[in-house]
Amino acid sequence: MKQMLRHLPAIHELQQDQRFAKLEEKWSKAKATEWVQEAVAELRKELLEETWVQSNDIIDFVDEIFMRVSERLSEHSMKRLQRVINGTGTVLHTNLGRARLGERATLQVAQTAQSYSNLEYNLIEGKRGSRHDLIEGIVKEITGAEAAMVVNNNAAAVYLILKALAKEKEVIVSRGELVEIGGSFRVSSIMEESGAHLIEVGTTNKTHQSDYEQAINENTAMIMKVHTSNFKIIGFTKEIPASELKHVTEQHKVILYEDLGSGAIYDLRQDGIGNEPTVSEALMHADIVSFSGDKLLGGPQVGMIAGKKDLIDKLKKHQLARVLRVDKMTLAALEATLSEYRDLDKAKTTIPTLKAILLTKEEVRARIALFKPKIPASFLSEIIDGTSQVGGGTMPEVELDTCLLKLNHQSIKSHEIQEQLRKGSPAVVGRIQEDALLFDFRTIDEAEFADLEARLQEFAN
Ligand SMILES: *Cc1c(COP(=O)(O)O)cnc(C)c1O
């Protein structure tokens, strides 16, 4: 193998190749040269170590080198943030960016990004304003809260609340609610980080009112309820709802804080889906609540905080509020999303998250039927029944009836198709079951049909 080293082309020869010209056109001569040099060096090393495996369709080293460069470039581009067609049916897919924004929110983001805005300018009075004011009004309007503010995400909201309202004080939490969310969010860790002292009460499956009462002392700042959205204990369980804890916290003058996790504004229970309380409901008992913007709310990644004005005022004044604040594009997306909720019936169709969750099985079937004629004949296709998940740790016990497009290629294995679909553009992610590719059209819009079709055409014969 070592004697083949002398057949390795020189860089200046490679630079004469048409493929080099293409690279140079798209990037720059320096960059293209660097990539070619890297590929040559890699090949040289393999020849020296005798680890090079020649593939059948490679005629000479020049081909091999340009193939390596193009592979590297495509891997490079896959590491960039890019669009994915989500065929998993999981509406709030944690790995795929959770909620997708609606049309108005998307437009609002683009406009705000391009222009100056009244981010911190009061247009009525012609003087400095506060970015909190931009959304506080609408949050108050749709949730009935006395006051509200926004931070980077719900984890940040929890942190700020504990730090500003309970630092060096005790916070009582039921053991049954000390869960880990999304693999990285642990109430106990955030609590430790904030300087608040965690007082665990009850057992994993049962916590009684008396457990809370006995733990309260002059150092207690708050009772915290955590909505255990991604975790469910079945069987002999007891949790005290915030509605009952309200008497305890009022009597002892401590704060009742509820981390709602999802934060539903639209009540999905009326459609028979899940058992998620709404934010306004939670605010009837809790002094302060926090929830994510990109879960059931269907907006951008933010942490929403709502509740009593004196508490929110303290949070707004805290130094951390500045550290955890959100940018103007996020605020634009949030404001547009929240305003959709002024008309709950319309929100069901304008907020993509709600729309996807509320799609009936028959509606999903109709979507697939519309797409079916576009599938290349090399696939065997079938519509089958299945279930989808809400995702994002929200309503884990809920299974939404759905329809799936089941595809089998006449000659190519499903996992190979899956890999190629994942690596192309736009990337397509589906499920595999018993060597068939499954696409849940709950999360594939008609607007994505043309792209999905183009990707499937890659396997047309
Ligand atoms: C999801 C969740 C969080 C974390 O929210 P992020 O927006 O991901 O930071 C915190 N608490 C609960 C109960 C949750 O469900």
Point out the ligand 1 atom lying closest to the alpha carbon of residue 155: 9
3 or 454: which leads in pLDDT: 454
Point out the ligand 1 atom lying closest to the alpha carbon of residue 392: 1
4 by DSSP, 3-state: which?
helix
Average pLDDT, integer, range 52-61: 72
- For helices 29-48 and 61-78, give the axis angle rounded to 10 degrees: 120
194 lines ligand 1 (CB under 6 A): no
Which is nearest to 336 in space by CA: 374, 367, 300? 300
Task: Report the alpha-carbon angle 217-221-226, nearest 5.
Answer: 110
pLDDT band at 57 (very low <50, low <70, confident <90, very high): low
Q: What is the pLDDT of residue 232?
A: 57
Percent of the chain with pLDDT over 90: 80
160 lines ligand 1 (CB under 6 A): no
Which is nearest to 437 in space by CA: 357, 380, 367? 380
Task: Dump pLDDT digits (tens) for 74-129.
Answer: 888 788 899 999 999 999 999 999 999 999 999 999 999 999 999 999 999 999 99
Beta strands in 15-162 (DSSP E): 84-86, 121-122, 127-128, 147-151
Q: What is the pLDDT of residue 43?
A: 92
222 lines ligand 1 (CB under 6 A): no
261 lines ligand 1 (CB under 6 A): yes
Question: CATH: 3.30.43.10, 3.40.640.10, 3.50.30.30, 3.40.50.850. Which one for 103-350?
Answer: 3.40.640.10
**Does residue 58 have a pLDDT over 80?**
no
Task: Dump pLDDT digits (tens) for 228-263.
Answer: 765 555 566 777 888 889 999 999 999 999 999 998
Task: Dump pLDDT digits (tens) for 16-28.
Answer: 999 999 999 988 9
173 lines ligand 1 (CB under 6 A): no
In this structure, the residue with its CA closest to atom 6 of ligand 1 is 154
**Does residue 328 have a pLDDT over 80?**
yes
CB 179 within 8 A of CB 228: yes
Tell how far the Cα of 397 is from the centroid of ligand 1, in angstroms: 17
Which is nearest to 286 in space by CA: 132, 161, 427? 161
181 or 53: which leads in pLDDT: 53
Q: What is the pLDDT of residue 231?
A: 53
Q: What is the pLDDT of residue 76?
A: 82
Helix ranges, 293-359 (H): 309-317, 319-323, 328-340, 344-350, 352-358
181 lines ligand 1 (CB under 6 A): yes
Task: Dump pLDDT digits (tens) for 178-231.
Answer: 877 766 778 899 999 999 999 999 987 788 899 999 999 999 999 999 987 655
Point out the ligand 1 atom lying closest to the alpha carbon of residue 227: 13
65 lines ligand 1 (CB under 6 A): no
Tell how far the Cα of 411 is from the centroid of ligand 1, in angstroms: 44
Q: What is the pLDDT of residue 408?
A: 97
Query: 354: which DSSP letter?
Result: H
Distance between CA atoms of residues 279 and 263, nearest Å: 6
For the chain, the domains span 2-77, 84-93+356-459, 103-350
- Which distant-in-sequence residues (6+ apart) come within 8 Å of 149 by Cβ? 132, 136, 305, 312, 315, 316, 321
Q: What is the CATH number of domain 84-93+356-459?
A: 3.90.1150.180
Distance between CA atoms of residues 134 and 434, nearest Å: 51
Q: What is the pLDDT of residue 298?
A: 98
**Does residue 371 have a pLDDT over 90?**
yes
Q: Using alpha carbons, list the distances in angstroms from residue 321 to 153, 189, 214, 309, 314.
A: 12, 20, 33, 16, 10
- Across the chain, mean pLDDT equals 93
Q: What is the pLDDT of residue 98?
A: 95
Fold: same for 84-93+356-459 and 103-350 = no
Point out the ligand 1 atom lying closest to the alpha carbon of residue 294: 7
What separation, in Å, do the N-terminal and C-terminal C-alpha atoms of the chain show? 37
Token pair in block for residue 131? 């970015």
In this structure, the residue with its CA closest to atom 2 of ligand 1 is 261
In this structure, the residue with its CA closest to atom 12 of ligand 1 is 261
Burial of residue 215 (number of CB atoms within 10 Å: 0-12, 13-18, 19+): middle
368 lines ligand 1 (CB under 6 A): no
What is the best residue among 177, 194, 259 to mutate for testing ligand 1's pocket, by most ligand atoms within 8 Å of CB? Answer: 259
Tell how far the Cα of 136 is from the centroid of ligand 1, in angstroms: 21
**Does residue 56 have a pLDDT over 80?**
no
Tell how far the Cα of 53 is from the centroid of ligand 1, in angstroms: 48
Q: Using alpha carbons, list the distances in angstroms from residue 430 to 250, 408, 437, 440.
A: 50, 13, 7, 8
**Does residue 1 have a pLDDT over 80?**
no
Task: Dump pLDDT digits (tens) for 311-320.
Answer: 999 999 999 9
Q: What is the pLDDT of residue 442?
A: 98
Task: Dump pLDDT digits (tens) for 262-312.
Answer: 989 999 999 999 989 999 999 999 999 999 999 999 999 999 999 999 999
Q: Which residues of 134-144 are buried (b: 16+ CB within 10 A; e: fewer)?
A: bbbebbeebbe
393 lines ligand 1 (CB under 6 A): yes
Q: What share of the chain is helix, strand, coil (3-state, %, to 5)?
A: 45, 20, 35
**pTM (whole model) above 0.85:** yes
Q: What is the pLDDT of residue 80?
A: 87
Tell how far the Cα of 264 is from the centroid of ligand 1, in angstroms: 13
Which is nearest to 158 in space by CA: 280, 333, 324? 324
Average pLDDT, integer, range 381-396: 92
Average pLDDT, integer, range 28-56: 89
Tell how far the Cα of 156 is from the centroid of ligand 1, in angstroms: 9
Q: What is the pLDDT of residue 108?
A: 97
Residue 80, φ and ψ in degrees, nearest 5: -80, 160
What is the best residue among 154, 177, 191, 289 to mutate for testing ligand 1's pocket, by most ligand atoms within 8 Å of CB? Answer: 154
Helix (H), strand (E) at residue 245: helix 242-252
Tell how far the Cα of 358 is from the centroid of ligand 1, in angstroms: 22
